[in-house]
Structure 1
Amino acid sequence: MNVHRRQNSKRKGEDASKFVNAQLADFAGDLYLLCKDQHGCRFLQRQLDADDAVVALMIFNEIYLHIVELMTDPFGNYLIQKLFEKVSGAQRVILVKNAAPQFIRIALDPHGTRALQKLVECITTDEESAIVIAALATHIVSLSRDLNGNHVVQKCLQKLKPADNQFIFDAAATNCIEIATHRHGCCVLQRCLDNGSPEQCKQLSTVVAAHCLQLSLDPFGNYVVQYVLFKGDMESVATIVKAIRSDIVNLSLHKFGSNVIEKSLRSDNGFIPRQLIEELLEHKQDMSKMLHDAFGNYVLQTSLDVCNKEDFDKLSAILKPLLPNVRNTPHGRRISARIQNVLA
């Protein structure tokens, strides 16, 4: 009797020593069980490292019907990730087809998400892409808002061709607010803008711009607005600037809205900060409120940092009479020092 063969399939774990000097053939018929054992899984991964097609085929033949279970297994998922890299294209298509009906469950699983991301990385054919798209297309919102699922969407954005990712942009544009106002969803939208074609980015940026005031007041949505200001098309950026200019004081006094105003003031496009500073100068009556506000004072500090000499003089003239009331506060001292240093 072969001493390497598993004697009791009900044992919780394998003895690492039994794999010393062992051969894959010693465990023929038991490879599926080895995948779910820490030492057995490592043994199988070492076998795959040899880049032997016969080894990959042997493992494939014993596990392809268990692909979903192994992708979500604490140990098996590591073996599956390596197997995706080693099998032939035809074999990987079989694995993709077998797993596709459960892609959503896999994506939401802390182990499965890693295996599914690796699968997306390994895709080489249009057939595989089509299967992935069909399985994920109607679940982009829930995936984007999930701790594990959002990474699968991001991996698709990074690895699939832009045309193949159109289903993500369509869902993102249709459900922009729901995705943008979520901790994980806002990151997905930013990756959309990093990886989309110019047309896809404009599709999404246009929707963000249309809702920019609502999103600017959100803990997560404000980051999406800031990202469009940084990477969006000129038309979308102009729409955002026009909107925030119309509500500049309220945004400046808001914890998250003030971030958007400061981002706009620091834009490389000099026309944008000039417009906003001109608007601020039209609200002289609100300067005292902004100066005393925990967020508004930062907007004023940023304005002083970025404005030209003419606007600096105008802003300083408004602020100087108000500074004695805040001279004992940190922000009051910073603004006073900024004005005095320039005027000196």
Structure 2
Amino acid sequence: MVSAVEPVPVRVSDRSDDLISEPSSFVFRSLSKEIYNTVHNNQETVEEEYFCPNLDTDLHHEMAALKKALKQISEKLECLSQGGSTPSRGRPISRFQETSINFDALVDRIVKKDDQYASYQLQQKLECRNNQELVEIMDSIQRCSLELMVNRFGNFLIQKCFEVLENSLIEGLIITIARNIVQVSTDAFGCHVVQKALEMIQEGHKKFLVEYLLEHLESTLLDSSAEHVWKRVLEIKWAIHPEMEEAITAKLSSTLQSRWLQVATTPRGSLIVQNILTNLPPTIQKTCLEELERDIPTLLTDRSGNWVIQFILQHFETSEIHQTIFQTILDNSQLYSTQMYSSKVIQKCLKAERFKSTFIDPYIDAICSTKPSKRRKPGAKPVVIELAVDIYGSGIIRKILVEGSVDEKSRVNGLLQEHMETVCTTKWGSKCAAVL
């Protein structure tokens, strides 16, 4: 008599096509291994050694769903152990689904690990209306407020505080900025925090920050990051404290006296000068323009200074400095027309119809003249020919031929036709000839 043999489950290596008598045992052992790995924080991938192709399709789907649920539970447990919660399918978990959160741990993750999600999670929590929870969050933030301000993702959290919280909750942050005004204002991330603060806080707090900033004017005014802070300061409209406008004007005047030209010829300083000429009273504008007028040639040929000249021509229509600029160019039209930066100023002037009588007509006369002068020998070719064969001058000639009036086009066209052989000898002259 043959004894009955209990059916033995088939492993993957057996690859048997026979039906399995106890498929549930495979599910149990497979899930048991995953649970063991989850509980013991095993980093190795769970082996699919109990998978069998002969299992019923519904059972496979059930196993897949259970494994997915275990994976989500594992992720949540891991994140909760670090003080937060994990997103479900790429979306943040609602604050109503979260359990107790360790705000100190989230702040530490931002500061020490540049954790973007921790910053985002705290920003979401700031929008709640639970005052007790907001106080707890702000206590955690205040503990590392300076580090957060200069952090890649922490600065967004501080900006969110200024956007959504009441003044009583952000006073500590304002004091931190004031005590570290130079460090925060000159930092690539911190400068955005100061700008947001100056935009959102009440005017009394703005006055408090600006007073600290004025004490460090020289060390921050020309800084690549702090210049954006100063731009925001100059744009403030003081309603409750109008005396601040006078204080800012006086401080800038005393600090930049006899240094306006030096500041205007630096990349950062040229923007500061433009902001000052836009936002501050006429008294300081007059002082600035008078100093700049003394050395127009330097500004015309400078990489940063030419932008100040263009700004003055565009925004100060009745300024006496216009005539000085125009006369400087007309006295040596060939030099300034063939220089990289001053040629941009000339093209800017040619676009403005209001300069037709004061600059455009005299300029066309100067470059088309065939009469001898101090700078031109008898028999020399007109300046317009020298401009046509130059890399920068040719741009001016093409602009006249395309956008000029009928009279301007005909005068320039006639001279170019007379000297076509000379014009076509260079790449830039050929471009001018192609426009004819």
Normalising by structure 2, we get a TM-score of 0.64
What amino acid is the match of 1:136? L
Q: Does 1:248 align with 2:333?
A: yes
> What is residue 22 of structure 1 aligned with on the other side?
98
1:131 to 2:131 alignment? no
2: CA distance between counterparts of 1:56 and 1:4?
25
Structure 1 residue matching 2:230: 3-state secondary structure: helix
CA offset at residue 173 of structure 1?
6.9
Whether 2:163 is the aligned partner of 1:73: answer no
8 Å CA contact retained: 2:265, 2:303: yes
Give the 3-state SS of the residue equivalent to 1:234 in structure 2: coil
Give the alignment partner of residue 249 of structure 2, picking from 153, 162, 166. Answer: 166
Secondary structure at 1:74 match in 2: coil
The one of 132, 145, 150 equivalent to 2:227 is: 150
Following superposition, the deviation at residue 226 of structure 1 comes to 1.3
Separation in 2, partners of 1:4, 1:172: 57
Give the direction of change, closer, same or farther, for the CA distance of 1:28–1:255 in structure 2 (3 Å limit): closer
Select 1:300's aligned residue among 375, 397, 403.
Answer: 397
Show CA shifts across 1:183-208 (max 9, x none): 34333444445545566655544544
Structure 1 unmatched runs, 5+: 8-12, 340-344
The farther-off stretch of 133-142 and 148-157 is: 133-142
* Structure 1 position 167, deviation (Å): 6.4
How far, CA to CA, are the matches of 2:236 and 2:296 in structure 1? 29
The worse-fitting range, judged by mean Cα deviation, of 326-335 and 209-218 is 326-335
Cα distance 1:205–1:6, how it changes in 2: closer, same or farther (>3 A)? farther
Q: Equivalents in 2 of 1:139, 1:319: separation in Å?
A: 57
Classify the secondary structure of the residue corresponding to 2:162.
helix
Once residues 294 and 226 of structure 1 are traced to their aligned partners in structure 2, the CA distance between those partners, rounded to angstroms, is: 21
Q: CA deviation at 1:102?
A: 1.4
In 1, Cα distance between equivalents of 2:430 and 2:137: 70
- What's the CA shift string for 1:39-91, capped at 9, x where partnerless? 43322211112255444333333433543222112332221111112332244
User: How far apart, CA to CA, are the structure 2 residues paired with 1:309 and 1:45?
Assistant: 62
Aligned 8 A contact 2:84 2:102 in 1: no
Residues in 2 aligned to 1:212 and 1:336: alpha-carbon distance in whole angstroms: 33
1:120 Cα deviation (Å)? 1.6
TM-score by length of 1: 0.78
Contact persistence 1:202–1:233 (CA under 8 A)? no
Cα distance 1:54–1:322, how it changes in 2: closer, same or farther (>3 A)?
A: farther
| 1:292 aligned partner, one-letter code | V
Partner deviation per Cα, 1:254-292 (whole Å, 9 max, x = no partner): 111111111122223123322322333457645143232
Alignment partners' CA distance in 2, 1:211 and 1:108: 31
Aligned to 1:122: 200
Aligned-residue sequence identity (percent) comes to 21
The answer to whether the Cα contact below 8 Å between 1:273 and 1:306 also exists between their aligned partners in 2 is: no
Structure 2 distance, partners of 1:313, 1:28, is 75
Matched with 1:231 is 315
**Per-residue Cα deviation, 1:300-328 (whole angstroms, up to 9, x for no partner):** 33344455444544444444332221225
How many residue pairs align between the two structures? 330
- Larger RCO (CA within 8 A; separation ≥ 6): 1
Pair 1:214-2:301 in alignment: no
8 Å contact from structure 2 (residues 416, 423) kept in 1: no
Q: Is the 8 A contact 1:205 1:233 kept in 2?
A: no
Say which structure is richer in helix: 1
Rounded to whole Å, the distance in 2 between the matches of 1:51 and 1:158 is 33
Q: Confirm or deny: 8 A CA contact 1:216 1:257 kept in the other structure.
A: yes
Cα pair distance change 1:130/1:221, threshold 3 Å: same
One-letter amino acid of the structure 1 residue matched with residue 228 of structure 2: H
Report the AA paired with residue 212 of structure 2: A
In the alignment, what sits opposite 2:367?
280
Query: Aligned to 1:44, which of 122, 130, 138?
Result: 122
Amino acid at match of 1:259: K
2:353 equivalent in structure 1 = 268
Quote the RMSD (CA, aligned, Å): 3.6
